[in-house]
Structure 1
Amino acid sequence: MSWLQNIIVLIIGFLLSQILIAARTHVRLITYFLDHSRTTTGGLLTATLFLSYSLSIFFSNTVVVLALLPVVRKLMAIFGNVKNHKTLAALFYCALIFGANTGGMASLTGSPLNVAAVSFANFQALPGAEHVTFFSWLMVGVPASFMLILAGRWLILAHTPSDLEPSVLPTPHRMGSLLPKKPLIFFFSNITFTFLLSAAQFLFKPDPLVAGMNIVDLSFLGYLGTILFFAFIFPRKARTPRNVLKNLTFLFLFLMAFPLIFVSKTLEQLEKRLGVPLGNAYTTLDNFLLRTLNFFWKPLFGENFKSLSIHNFNSVLSINRIMLEIPWFGILLMSITAVLLLLIISVGDNPATQDIDGWLFTVLKKFIAWATSFSNSPAILYALTAVSTIFVTEIFNNTTVLLVVTPAIVAMQPLFQSEQLLLLLLVTVAASGAFMSPVATPVNALAFGGLEKVSIKTLLRLGFFMNLIAAFLITTNFLILLYFL
């Protein structure tokens, strides 16, 4: 059950990132690297680029961008009121998204899109899908993506004006610049354990033991249960049965409340960000939810929740804070885009037929059929797929592109055993290689929304060249991968 392992790896990676963020390890790590990097424009841009890249290999790249945005704004303040502020903002924007998107390509957990694609491949039982694990993706993804990040660094530094230098040198943070050794040991020991489990699945392929699950599946489930227990249930300080009960109740109540939180946050974003007049319906829903939670909590523990965002200091992580800090607006925009695109795809669809045969989908199937006619020349096929995916993603964003392209890939007639899987993975990776448009990926959207007065001209120019380099490197690496299959 590789799909089960991949989902568990994604969940564990997310929980580890939340644990480190809760301990402010990311702030200490960033401060350490910045205090030990060259205090020049090129040095600060390089530090931002490689921090974003390296963190995105292990954490979801959207989480990394959210964590780094305050740091980038702080770095930009070092330059003061420079004349070409828009260029400076665009350079830091590019450093942030080049690193996060490229790091997202490097590992299975770097982008949720990767896990979604691999899980779909396992669900459809595409030939070769069982070989795609955290281990195998990392072995191919890290060296390939590192070449792309070096190209990104060259592009950024080549477009950095020579007269753009910091006006105020940052003072070293004596205490903050110490490397957080214990949290890093904790993190890398968990990553190593995940890596070894995934390697065992890839190398030994153990037989099923219980309910179709093998020893590695069971180990992953046990590992996930352990992480969940120590993150949400095990008391941080006074380890008493009462505190265990409080943590369990806190977790259970907010998990039950999640559907209402989802509705409330959606209504809030519709009213605040899109201007839909809803009469503060989300406030009414929040108040109702708070009273309902207190109805159960107060009789048990003699205290009230003052707000839905209250922090549970008795546990390592607060499940409600994780729910409330989800980038709801980005999810809403992507959902609206996906629904609109699916409606467009259904235009002209004949409901009497089981298959989708809308006009756009039919055109897309014909295009893929035409593209796959170059299967005798994989170089042309892969190059055409990579370039078209990257530039179409600039308009529709990577999630919707994958939603549209995936059914067409499954519907094609493969000429060799793993052709469908390779094309699906190529499209998935290429969909994270769109660096021009602010709406292409969640990473781009979050970074663009978090930085003010960004030079559109600069980011489009750098993004265009990065797109071409990404298409070339993705094509080359998939041709090498095809050679070894």
Structure 2
Amino acid sequence: MELNGDILGYLWQRLPLLLLFGGGYLVYQIMAVTRLTDAFVCWALRKSGGRPALLLLYVIGTAAALSSFIPNAITVLTMLPLLKRLDNTFRENGGRGMTTVLMCAAIYGAAIGGFGSMIGSPANAILFGALDLFEVAGREQITFFNWFLWSLPLAAMLVLVAWGVAAGLGLPASARGKAVHLECLTGGGGTTGRQRYAGTLFWVYMGFWILEAVAQEAIPGFALLAPWVCVAFTVLFLFFVFIRRAPTSPAGIGPLLRPIDLLSSLPRRGFIFLLGLAVLIGLAQWLGMDKRLAVLAHETLQSDMPGLALFFLLVLAVIFLTEVLSNTTVVAAFYPIAYYAAQGHGMDPLPLMVGISLASTCAFMTPVATPTSALAFGEMRGASLRIMLGLGVVLNLAAAVLITGWLAWILPRVY
């Protein structure tokens, strides 16, 4: 009975976090069914004026913005038809060789957006499970709002670095200085009533969770009321999504979503890996393996190694391993390693484990790194694997340096 009470108490305490991720999934679904993402992509890419270098910046930035709230694969699926049209337009204007760099720009942005918000990647959900399982100090201070305080500057810096790599190293000479007309970008000539309604619900969702996070820090005792407040908001949000008929909907269409829509793209693998991680950690503690792993990590990673070097090596290892393995597989293996390595070196494990989560989304190099990369490489016919690998290696190394330096400096100040 006491164990059941502990589990229920934990779930009640973490209910706001669970509702946050659940609401994020609903937001993704309503953006997908109303095709609001298509309209946003067309509007954003037109801002480039058709200039190749600037267009790459808008592709990366747009993909990063979208994938902060919707799955990476959906982001790239939304952008691929437009990128193929742009590629054909460049070819017709003599700017050959844009296929690979356009594809890479979309992949880079989609990967970077994975850590732009708390709900941007399944690895972030697994991160919170791992922080709770290891009872890492400071985990309760992470909120939807203060995640943005350090993630948005980091994402912006990495977008600029990715742009520098794509435009500086990947943009072909034949395309430089050639502006193209963007009549090929169709679908962004205005939003429908359903799209505006979906956009309103998106901003309501964002506004509530930002205010909830601020209230947690500013109002004494609000933490006790937070689960009730979040449940009330979620019920109201569900009403507007599933029951209230969207404005200007034709007869018979009704609400934005139907319950059956929730079954598509359900992140089952994330739940499975989180459960597997809990089982592994429990087994390791029962067998006393946690202490042995701590000693092994301490000896393997050298006791006299500077903490920043340890941080960098772990982040770099995760980035390159995700080029050939599933990112959820890699983080499930590396969260315990990061925790025990931090203990062995007298470091705070929180920044290190957050760094593992972020690094697992930075798969920039190979077409097999993620389903998103495979999808983009398969669809963009004529893309060069050699160029993709070369640009990806440079960006992987730059990302490892940037993530390490930024998190090691900023996270102790935020949390």
Q: Same fold (TM over 0.5)?
A: yes
Alpha-carbon distance in 2 for matches of 1:442, 1:238: 36
Alpha-carbon distance in 1 for matches of 2:125, 2:343: 23
Q: Residue in 2 aligned with 1:69?
A: 80
Alpha-carbon distance in 1 for matches of 2:350, 2:156: 23
Alpha-carbon distance in 2 for matches of 1:418, 1:9: 30
1:108/1:134 contact within 8 Å kept: yes
Alpha-carbon distance in 2 for matches of 1:57, 1:2: 25
Cα separation, partners in 2 of 1:175 and 1:410, compared to 1, 3 Å? closer
Q: CA deviation at 1:450?
A: 3.8
Q: Describe the superposition over 1:21-78 as per-residue Cα deviations: whole angstroms up to 9, x where unpaired.
A: 3222222222222333221322332221111012223334343223223332332232
Equivalent AA in structure 1 for residue 254 of structure 2: N
Please list, as runs of the form range in 1=range in 2, the aligned pairs for 1:41-60 lying within 5 A after superposition.
41-60=52-71
Pick from 171, 191, 194: which aligns with 2:183? Answer: 171
Q: CA deviation at 1:123?
A: 4.2
Q: Residue in 2 aligned with 1:115?
A: 125
Pick from 223, 226, 233: which aligns with 2:236? Answer: 226
Higher relative contact order structure (alpha carbons within 8 Å, sequence separation ≥ 6): 2
Q: CA deviation at 1:335?
A: 11
The TM-score, its normalising length taken from structure 2, stands at 0.80
Equivalent AA in structure 1 for residue 401 of structure 2: F
Q: CA deviation at 1:154?
A: 0.9
Alpha-carbon distance in 1 for matches of 2:13, 2:108: 29
Equivalent AA in structure 2 for residue 144 of structure 1: L
Cα separation, partners in 2 of 1:470 and 1:173, compared to 1, 3 Å? closer
Equivalent AA in structure 2 for residue 69 of structure 1: L
Alpha-carbon distance in 2 for matches of 1:400, 1:426: 16
Other structure's SS at 1:395 match = coil
Q: Residue in 1 aligned with 2:215?
A: 200
Cα separation, partners in 2 of 1:145 and 1:2, compared to 1, 3 Å? farther
Pick from 96, 104, 107: which aligns with 2:114? Answer: 104
Cα separation, partners in 2 of 1:225 and 1:178, compared to 1, 3 Å? same
Cα separation, partners in 2 of 1:114 and 1:374, compared to 1, 3 Å? farther
Q: CA deviation at 1:98?
A: 1.1
Q: Describe the superposition over 1:432-475 as per-residue Cα deviations: whole angstroms up to 9, x where unpaired.
A: 12211223334334433443332111111111111111111111
Cα separation, partners in 2 of 1:10 and 1:78, compared to 1, 3 Å? farther
Pick from 10, 21, 37: which aligns with 1:10? Answer: 21
Matched, 1:427 2:356: yes
Q: Residue in 1 aligned with 2:9?
A: none
Aligned length: 392
Q: Residue in 1 aligned with 2:307?
A: 378
TM-align CA RMSD: 3.9
Q: Residue in 1 aligned with 2:383?
A: 454
1:14/1:60 contact within 8 Å kept: no
Q: CA deviation at 1:419?
A: 1.9
Q: CA deviation at 1:80?
A: 4.1
Alpha-carbon distance in 2 for matches of 1:4, 1:335: 16
Q: CA deviation at 1:198?
A: 1.8
Q: CA deviation at 1:384?
A: 1.5
2:315/2:400 contact within 8 Å kept: yes
Q: Residue in 2 aligned with 1:479?
A: 408
2:122/2:328 contact within 8 Å kept: no
Q: CA deviation at 1:145?
A: 1.5
Which of 100-109 and 165-174 deviates more? 165-174
Alpha-carbon distance in 2 for matches of 1:163, 1:54: 29
Q: CA deviation at 1:128?
A: 0.9
Structure showing greater radius of gyration is 1
Pick from 288, 298, 314: which aligns with 2:254? Answer: 314
Q: CA deviation at 1:182?
A: 3.6
Pick from 90, 94, 108: which aligns with 1:79? Answer: 90
Alpha-carbon distance in 2 for matches of 1:234, 1:429: 37
Matched, 1:27 2:27: no
Q: Residue in 2 aligned with 1:287?
A: none
Q: CA deviation at 1:423?
A: 1.9
Q: Residue in 1 aligned with 2:7?
A: none
Q: CA deviation at 1:100?
A: 1.2
Cα separation, partners in 2 of 1:455 and 1:403, compared to 1, 3 Å? same
Q: Residue in 2 aligned with 1:134?
A: 144
Alpha-carbon distance in 2 for matches of 1:92, 1:382: 32
Equivalent AA in structure 2 for residue 145 of structure 1: A
Alpha-carbon distance in 1 for matches of 2:62, 2:120: 14
1:6/1:108 contact within 8 Å kept: no
Alpha-carbon distance in 2 for matches of 1:67, 1:172: 15
Q: CA deviation at 1:189?
A: 3.6
Q: Percent identity?
A: 25
1:8/1:220 contact within 8 Å kept: yes
Alpha-carbon distance in 1 for matches of 2:95, 2:77: 25
Equivalent AA in structure 2 for residue 201 of structure 1: Q
Pick from 141, 146, 156: which aligns with 2:156? Answer: 146
Other structure's SS at 1:443 match = helix
Matched, 1:366 2:296: yes
2:101/2:166 contact within 8 Å kept: yes
Q: Residue in 1 aligned with 2:6?
A: none
Other structure's SS at 2:68 match = helix
Q: Residue in 1 aligned with 2:202?
A: 187
Cα separation, partners in 2 of 1:482 and 1:174, compared to 1, 3 Å? closer
Pick from 407, 426, 444: which aligns with 2:373? Answer: 444
Q: Describe the superposition over 1:299-337 as per-residue Cα deviations: whole angstroms up to 9, x where unpaired.
A: xxxxxxxxxxxxx8233113334534x289xx78x999x
Q: Describe the superposition over 1:212-241 as per-residue Cα deviations: whole angstroms up to 9, x where unpaired.
A: xx22222222222222222223345899xx
1:126/1:421 contact within 8 Å kept: yes
1:78/1:167 contact within 8 Å kept: no
Q: CA deviation at 1:99?
A: 0.8
Other structure's SS at 2:173 match = coil
Alpha-carbon distance in 2 for matches of 1:74, 1:66: 14
1:107/1:137 contact within 8 Å kept: yes
Equivalent AA in structure 2 for residue 389 of structure 1: V
1:103/1:145 contact within 8 Å kept: yes
1:118/1:132 contact within 8 Å kept: no
